[in-house]
Amino acid sequence: MDETIPYDMRITHAPDARGHFGAYGGRFAAETLMAPLQALEEAFFAAWEDPEFQAERLALLRHYVGRATPLYHADRLSRENGGAQIWLKREDLTHTGAHKINNTIGQGLLARRMGKKRVIAETGAGQHGVATATVAAKFGMQCDVYMGREDVERQKPNVLRMRLLGANVIAVDSGTATLKDALNEALRDWVATCEDTFYIIGTVAGPHPYPLMVRQFHAVIGQEARAQMLKQAGCLPDVAIACVGGGSNAMGLLHPFRDDDVRLIAVEAAGHGLDSGAHAASLARGRAGILHGNLTYLLEDEDGQIQGTHSISAGLDYPGVGPELAAMLDRGELELDAATDEEALEAFQRLTACEGIIPALESSHALAAGMRIAAGLRSDQHVLINLSGRGDKDMNTVFKTLGWLE
């Protein structure tokens, strides 16, 4: 990695001993999982403090993932957009094309260190499944990925990619046969198999210590961006912005700026509009409840049933949000914004035409909000946007939505 980047291994803004970030988080899981979660917590802290583990992790991030990723000054976009300078953190240039690999490399290494021979994961759009199958292939581990049958049908290319990587994709038929049902099945599997199996969770959610652990594995994003801003722009950004599905790319980018004078902004998927009922904005429109082993903001109906979510980007289609983001919002540490399907698609086309960079539809939400915010600032101000992934996977969705495939 770039030797000038000061990767910081200290853990700041930690949750309490039971994994609470303010009122959120915790460990809501079956009794049989309490001991394995405790063992995981101990293994994580021991590994985190072990220079050998960190050296191996950083070496893989450098030579396998391709870090440090560039920080790119989108000068033409900035000019055409008007207002502040727009800087893109290029997670789209990582191996497998999105930030998710930072986390699966970390958890994969931890699984190996704990002597586990098998990893499991759940996936909605299939992106986390692919990132998990990738490291399972690299580390020679058996890999089973739970996926709602609806999603298996909708996300064929990712299903085939996982098979190619040697993973076994298990279609889940219960409930609505989507992500929330796959979550439950993965937890059920782990209850029965935790002796030899490691559960790789794909975002800053799940029972303690997952939200903390995943944040730490992604913090390289913001640590690099912070050092790169100082070097390339000569100052910190005025604003840092990321899209939020579960919140892992957002925590990765924003966490290292928390003690700075930088506005931190999370952008949710407003789908057809926040008042349409068809969105994935858990922070803006959710209420506190328990999902995936932690207490957080959720989209649920009057009866406490998890609601169906909608977004043009499958990766933002998570019905909850990481508990730490909920706590940051409550404390006023985080500003909330949203972008609709239409705004995201517009930002997608804008960046592509203006800079020759095709972003993921997820990242396009951060871009849409970022361009709007930049337009209201001065030209000597700086807006940092996390470009969490590349858009190759979204071609079909985009062409269909634009009506180019008729």
Ligand X SMILES: *Cc1c(COP(=O)(O)O)cnc(C)c1O
Reading phi first (left if > 0) and then psi (alpha if -120 to 50, else beta), residue 114 is in: alpha
401 DSSP assignment: H
304 DSSP assignment: S
Contact 165, 175 (CB under 8 A): no
Least separation in angstroms between CB 58 and ligand X = 21
Q: Is the dihedral of CA 184, 188, 190, 191 positive or negative?
A: positive
Nearer to ligand X, 212 or 316 (CB): 316
Least separation in angstroms between CB 209 and ligand X = 17
Contact 112, 106 (CB under 8 A): no
Contacts of 206 (CB under 8 A, 6+ apart): 214, 292, 293, 294
Least separation in angstroms between CB 366 and ligand X = 8
Least separation in angstroms between CB 156 and ligand X = 17
Nearer to ligand X, 90 or 100 (CB): 100
Q: Give the whole-angstrom CA distance, residue 312 versus residue 342.
A: 9
- Whether residue 100 lies in the annotated active site: yes
Active-site position among 248, 282, 311, 388: 388
- Whether residue 52 lies in the annotated active site: no
Active-site position among 89, 100, 116, 393: 100
Contact 41, 209 (CB under 8 A): yes
Q: Is the dihedral of CA 374, 380, 386, 389 positive or negative?
A: positive
| Site residues for ligand X per CB under 6 A | 98, 100, 127, 203, 243-250, 315-316, 360, 362-363, 388-389
Nearer to ligand X, 194 or 345 (CB): 345
- Whether residue 89 lies in the annotated active site: no
CA dihedral 386, 144, 154, 268 (to 10 degrees): -30
Active-site position among 41, 91, 122, 324: 122
Nearer to ligand X, 134 or 249 (CB): 249
Nearer to ligand X, 131 or 152 (CB): 131
Least separation in angstroms between CB 46 and ligand X = 25
Residues annotated as catalytic (active site), given as ranges: 100, 122, 388
